[in-house]
């Protein structure tokens, strides 16, 4: 099994963590999707990472689809509950975390532009998305929809999203007034799967 992706992508990290937690052996192929000579388009027509190539040669892309495929393999621990509606709720929280990642990525790309070309309105819009998303996740923890010691698809996605915020310094004060999110990610960051997938220092 091969995982095609970038070491700095939070979406790729989500899949790497899931594979490591399940003890599934895989080869990591480092591809930068924005490089002119990138081979990512060979695996995903949209030119985005991650992509997963199975031992049988099947190719899966888009991190939620890959995560679902991996869970179908039956390796422990499961990333979703058996109950269909409960699983859908976890998938929705994964989507929320993924949306935070998307907003952070847009912010990083905007800040990479020359200062005179940057859109402050766009940066504000993305910061607001991140803030609302984090508030919603904190509320889920407050209401017991997730536990600070829970390992599942949603909490892995949340931890990858927040790690990316830290890595790119997109939202430096994200932890203010969000003590349960802080505890959740502190717990997950101690796991070997997160230690092994920490993005390289810039």
Q: What local confidence, expressed as pLDDT, does residue 94 receive? A: 98
Tens of pLDDT, residues 167-183: 999 999 999 999 999 99
Question: Residues 80, 15, 188, 100: is their CA dihedral positive or negative?
Answer: negative
Average pLDDT over residues 121-148: 97
Average pLDDT over residues 69-89: 97
Q: What local confidence, expressed as pLDDT, does residue 202 receive? A: 58
Residue 50: CB atoms within 10 Å:
29
CATH 3.40.50.150 describes domain 2-73: no
- C-alpha distance from residue 129 to each of 13, 46, 67, 83, 170 (Å): 21, 24, 24, 30, 12
Q: Residue 70, CB half-sphere, CA atoms under 13 Å: how many? A: 33
pLDDT tops 80 at residue 60: yes
User: Quick one: DSSP state of residue 159?
Assistant: H
Under CATH, what is the fold of the domain 84-191?
A: Glutathione S-transferase Yfyf (Class Pi); Chain A, domain 2 (1.20.1050)
Place of tokens 């924005």: 34
pLDDT tops 70 at residue 134: yes
Q: Which long-range contacts (CB under 8 A, 24 or more apart) does 190-197 make?
A: 191/21, 191/151, 192/20, 193/16, 193/17, 193/20, 193/21, 194/17, 194/159, 194/163, 196/16, 196/20, 197/13, 197/16, 197/17, 197/20
Q: Distance between CA 202 and CA 193 in Å, rounded? A: 21
pLDDT band with cut points at 50, 70 and 90 for residue 128: very high
What ranges do the domains of the chain cover? 2-73, 84-191
Task: Check for a shared fold between 2-73 and 84-191.
Answer: no
| Least confident stretch, 29-38, 42-51, 66-75, 138-147 | 29-38
Q: Which long-range contacts (CB under 8 A, 24 or more apart) does 106-114 make?
A: 107/168, 107/170, 108/168, 108/170
Tell which wins on pLDDT, 51 or 36: 51
Q: Distance between CA 130 and CA 162 in Å, rounded? A: 10
| Least confident stretch, 7-11, 111-115, 127-131, 198-202 | 198-202
């Amino acid at each position: 099994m091969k995982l095609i992706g970038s070491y700095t992508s939070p979406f790729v990290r989500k899949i790497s963590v899931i594979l490591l937690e399940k003890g599934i052996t895989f080869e990591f192929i480092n591809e930068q999707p924005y490089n002119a000579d990138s081979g990512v388009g060979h695996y995903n027509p949209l030119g985005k990472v991650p992509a997963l190539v199975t031992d049988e040669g099947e190719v899966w892309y888009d991190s939620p689809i890959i995560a679902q495929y991996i869970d179908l393999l039956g390796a422990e621990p499961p990333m979703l509950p058996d109950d269909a509606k409960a699983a859908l709720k976890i998938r929705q929280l994964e989507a929320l975390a993924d949306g935070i990642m998307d907003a952070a990525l847009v912010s990083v790309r905007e800040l990479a532009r020359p200062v005179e070309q940057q859109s402050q309105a766009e940066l504000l819009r993305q910061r607001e998305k991140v803030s609302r998303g984090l508030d919603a996740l904190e509320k889920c923890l407050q209401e017991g929809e997730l536990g600070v010691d829970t390992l599942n698809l949603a909490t892995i996605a949340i931890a990858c999203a927040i790690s990316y915020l830290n890595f790119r310094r997109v939202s430096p004060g994200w932890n203010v007034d969000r003590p349960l999110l802080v505890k959740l990610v502190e717990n997950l960051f101690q796991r070997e799967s997160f230690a092994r997938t920490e993005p390289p220092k810039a």
